[in-house]
Structure 1
């Protein structure tokens, strides 16, 4: 019978579950960081960061939005989203105005420059897809799995969030 390595436990031993390489969360974290590098390069010509790109995507898709709704769509709190929108505003891509019906609410809308940037951004998804090396079916399957995982994790975390 072969001798087990002192540094590797057999797969059925509990401590094996604590290996970094077996953590799904770490695999997602690593993939996210790798995506960040690819997006950094793909977005360089647009002079956008990845979070700014996501904010622009929501506006290109939905038109003007209250900051609160953008935060919900992007899964960002106002403390993160507000400075990001301030930088997009300073760059002339968006305009933020108080809602005349509710002064507490801020509406974000694209400027003409922000709308025009969409045409240049249309190449980004293809560049990202090419970098993954996945075909369309694999990308769709991965997207579906991640969406289901997010739903399940949100549901699992819901009781704790309500406390």
Structure 2
């Protein structure tokens, strides 16, 4: 089987190219794609519970903690006690963070518009059907059921 013809290779290679493209833009703003992704996933009005961010973004807690600490040092976010859960913390955007979020959103919109301009509505619909199916199969953990475990 040629790796270029496998679905996982196409996904990985495409995502790596997209991530590299976003990181090349983010560095111009003393940021990273991961930081921009976090900014876009924080509720800009009410903040987001820190425990919700990881699952929301598919990110491991250790990686997220490191990114949040860096963002806090840069002045993009701050932590506030969650009034609905005394044990929890809300991650909120500073004015600087809101400005960075706006920039990040513009890049995401521009990327989406550029891709959509090259595809038909049907192709885009098919793309989302395929990714939805892949996510469903992965989440059901049904892909490797028939293979030996050891």
Report deviation, 1:118. Answer: 3.0
Distance 1:157 1:82, change over 3 A: farther
Q: Corresponding residue for 1:153?
A: 138
CA distance in structure 2 between the aligned counterparts of 1:143 and 1:55, rounded to whole angstroms:
22
Report deviation, 1:53. Answer: 1.2
CA distance in structure 2 between the aligned counterparts of 1:136 and 1:47, rounded to whole angstroms:
35
Paired residue secondary structure (1:76): coil
* Structure 2 gap ranges (5+): 146-150
TM-score by length of structure 1 reads: 0.72
Q: Corresponding residue for 1:127?
A: 110
Check if 1:75 corresponds to 2:71: no
Q: Corresponding residue for 1:102?
A: 86
TM-score by length of structure 2 reads: 0.77
Report deviation, 1:34. Answer: 0.7
Q: For residues 56-105 of structure 1, what are the alpha-carbon distances to aligned partners after superposition, in whole Å with 9 as ceiling and x for unaligned? A: 111146741111111110011211110011111111111123446433x3
Distance 1:134 1:141, change over 3 A: farther
Distance 1:151 1:46, change over 3 A: farther
Check if 1:143 corresponds to 2:133: no
Q: For residues 28-60 of structure 1, what are the alpha-carbon distances to aligned partners after superposition, in whole Å with 9 as ceiling and x for unaligned? A: 111111111211233234332111111111114
Distance 1:157 1:63, change over 3 A: farther
Q: Corresponding residue for 2:148?
A: none
* Structure 1 gap ranges (5+): 1-17
Check if 1:90 corresponds to 2:70: no
- Length, aligned pairs only: 142
